[in-house]
Structure 1
Amino acid sequence: MANDSGSQPMYEMIFQTLRERITRNEYKIGDRVPSEKELCSEFGVSRITSKKALQMLADEQLIIRQPGRGSFVADFNSASMKPYDSQQNARGSGKKRIIGLVITNFSDMYGTELIYGMEEASRENDCFLVVRRSFGIPELEEKTIQQLLGLGVDGLIIFPAQGEYFSAEILKLVIQKFPFVMIDRYLKGIPASSVSTDNVQAAKEATRYLFELGHRHIGFLAPPPANTTAIEERIDGIVEAHAEHNLPVNRELWLETITSTMPNVFDPQARVDDVSKLVQHLQAYPEITALFAAEYNIALLVEEAAGKLGLRIPEDLSVICFDSPEAYEGCRITHMRQNQFGIGKQAFENVLNMQGNEQPITRLLLPAELVKGRSASTVKAH
């Protein structure tokens, strides 16, 4: 079940804080990280909580735990990691193939069904799937790719870190023609295969639905779109839908500075700030009758902001978004349901098809489905 409050367990917050310190080199390779007792004092938690946070770091191979001595930052470039050029140990040897997945994060809202689709494809093809999260941190994404290559994977599926940054490791994969497929977005001008939702068409369908309900003053809510192709395409779809209906696009009604839902943002204050932004935005533009959120967690922020203003959903304000953990008719929030299972399965099969073959670069787009919930209705008569 999704946590609608947006809160997270303390052990995850401690894990994220320590991981960020490591990736920023505040703790360098070989440095001792705080002990369970020291973490208890710093964060005001129990030993059980601090122990779980350290174990998560160990599971991600960010630290090495040595009983009686403490926990130390691991060396990502140690001899146990083979160099890229030696990745021939499984290919052509008769061993079962291993495909690595690098994903920012996953939840009931987005990501879990992607993995289910890949898992089914791995069983059908008698392969293994290895999953690693990057949390949207480019440096961790690079290290994760290096680790999986060191493991000897036969191909990679990559959900890139948010924003305009594409890691040097991804570009190396392109240059060396290593089998990999991107999911959710693609590299502009760079020959790399991808599988994603048809975001343009999905955004058009959602916008058309709001038009059918009589909405004309529609705000769009998203993180900063800088070179994030999925967001850019959703914007294109909204603009095209307006053009088809001969309606102007008023981008003053849009808010593209939502940051608290991004996978590399861990500060709880960011959520508070985003809700405040939304409250101020709705006060500044009272003509808004509907908000189109780029993702489900942003829709939850809208619910909180509307509550502070005494606005009822959908009577006073309609809300629509992409994805929801409740993906059935009559669910709370109206949304465009992406075919995550299909994307995951297709991405896995595409990587397998690249094995030993010179495959053409493909960009596969899967349709999304409009799921009508209780958060969108006809415009209230004034």
Structure 2
Amino acid sequence: MANDSGSIPMYEMIFRTLRERITQHEYKAGDRVPSEKELCSEFGVSRITAKKALKLLADEQLIIRQPGRGSFVADANSLFMKPFDFQQPPGTPGKKQIIGLVITHFSDMYGTELIYGMEEASRDHDAFLVVRRSFGIPELEEKAIQQLLGIGVDGLIIFPAQGEYFSAEILKLVIQKFPFVMIDRYLKGIPASSVSTDNVQAAKEATRYLFGLGHRHIGFLAPPPANTTAIEERIDGIIEAHVEHNLLLNRELWMETITSTMPNVFDPQARIADVDRLVEHLQKYPQITALFAAEYDIALLVEEAAGQLGLRIPEDLSVICFDSPDPHEGCRMTHMRQNQFSIGKQAFENVLTMQGQEQPITRILLPAQFIPGRSTAQAQQE
């Protein structure tokens, strides 16, 4: 099993793998999880490494270890939440800190690594993490914030449902100077700290790479930019790259109406509609030699549309995107890999530093890593 970050130890990687199997119900409550010996065989590690991975699972109350019998999955209701005293108000001496996370959604593609980073920080600081999803729906976001405040969290980490507008609950947090940090994006006009990827530089680097391959007619595919400042920043990076290379930017080649990948869209027909629109777009603009997808899931739509048109990737059409389930060089999709683990850990630690004292507003931008894959190639001669 490869280490996907170069800095995360193998016992942590095994812990994550087992944890995902539990949360995905591959191992159900009461099931026995692999023994130390079995983990050694599966992952090619020492007994000490396997033992540390199981200890992390036990520390997170995901498993119960029974001497002589093995380790068994704990009650699923304990996932993502440790028991704590709801009666103690924030700031009570001796009370372990509880940080709430409000996130639109999380999956293997984006979000899960954020939570892993927060969990590591919570273990380092002997604190707790409670998670609520909003699915990108502002009303659910407001309700989640209210619920977490109601149980007495000491701080909040918020992945905003929208980037252009902010909810009344977030505005209240600002007015009351309640400790909170935003991740992935920031809200314009709101004095709040945030941790995210340096989207401008990441998009600029990806565009420069396509330029280096000789691509000049590049389409950008994204959800409506108003939904997130991250998309707006990636657009800024693409524009800056064109300016630096004295190249004309033709935004007619862009398609910023992809909706099927948004967290609040559940209609399976939306994906079919997006693929149909992509097919029409590529037929309308046959000069396009490369597409830059704002998300991996959008890159998958491109593959489907290209297949319907008989276009080969990368011979006829290069594709680049943000993030991928395969983070290694030579993978299927060329992409900019966000350091989600560090973003999550940094956000959690920032909230903890805000306890009991007013901190200056900070905006932390972390670099993305360029991962070359098999989806990009030299542009064909025009």
TM-score after normalising by structure 1: 0.77
Q: Write the distance in 2 (CA, Å) between the matches of 1:295 and 1:354.
A: 32
Q: Is the 8 A contact 1:162 1:262 kept in 2?
A: no
Match of 2:264 in 1: 264
Quickly say closer, same or farther: Cα 1:218–1:312, change in 2 above 3 A: same
Structure 1's consecutive aligned runs of 4 or more residues displaced over 4 angstroms after TM superposition are: none
Unaligned runs of at least 5 residues, structure 2: 1-75, 81-85
Q: Where does residue 237 of structure 1 map in the other structure?
A: 237
1:195 aligns with 2:195: yes
- Give 1:227 deviation, angstroms: 5.5
**Structure 1, unaligned stretches of length 5 or more?**
1-55, 61-81
Give the CA deviation at 1:189.
1.8
Aligned to 1:196, what secondary structure does the other structure show?
strand
Q: Are positions 1:98 and 2:72 aligned together?
A: no
CA–CA separation in structure 1 for the residues paired with 2:112 and 2:330? 22
Query: What do you get for the CA RMSD once the two structures are aligned?
Result: 1.8
| Map of 2:160 onto structure 1 | 160
Contact 1:90 1:96 in 2 (8 A): no
In the other structure, the counterpart of 1:311 is 311
Judge conservation of contact 1:197–1:367 (CA < 8 Å) in 2: yes
- Structure 2 length normalisation: TM-score? 0.77
Alignment partner, residue 367 of structure 2: 367
Shift of 1:321: 0.3
Q: Deviations over 1:67-90 (max 9, x none)?
A: xxxxxxxxxxxxxxx9xxxx9713
Aligned partners of 1:327 and 1:337 also within 8 Å: yes
- Per the TM alignment, residue 164 of structure 1 is displaced from its structure 2 partner at its CA by 3.1
Q: Point out the more displaced range, 87-96 or 98-107.
A: 87-96
The residue that corresponds to 1:16 in the other structure is none
Deviations 1:311-341 (A, max 9, x none): 0000000000001111111110000000000
**Deviations 1:172-203 (CA, angstroms, capped at 9, x unpaired):** 10110000000011111211000000000000
* Paired amino acid for 1:253: L
CA distance in 1, matches of 2:365, 2:192: 14
Q: Equivalents in 2 of 1:96, 1:145: separation in Å?
A: 20
Q: Distance in 1 between matches of 2:185 and 2:343?
A: 12
| Partner Cα distance (2:265, 2:146) in 1 | 24
Given the alignment of the two structures, is residue 180 of structure 1 paired with residue 180 of structure 2, yes or no?
Answer: yes
> Once the two structures are aligned, what percentage of the paired residues are identical?
83
Amino acid at match of 2:174: V
**SS of residue in 2 equivalent to 1:106:** coil
How many Å separate the matches in 1 of 2:327 and 2:147? Answer: 35
2:165/2:187 contact within 8 Å kept: no
Equivalent residue, structure 1, for 2:108: 108
Letter in 2 for 1:230: A
Query: For 1:225 and 1:285, how far apart are their aligned partners in 2?
Result: 22
Question: CA 1:113–1:244 in structure 2 vs 1: closer, same or farther (change >3 Å)?
Answer: same
Report if the CA contact (8 A) 1:138-1:165 is conserved.
Answer: no
Alpha-carbon offset, residue 230 of structure 1: 0.4
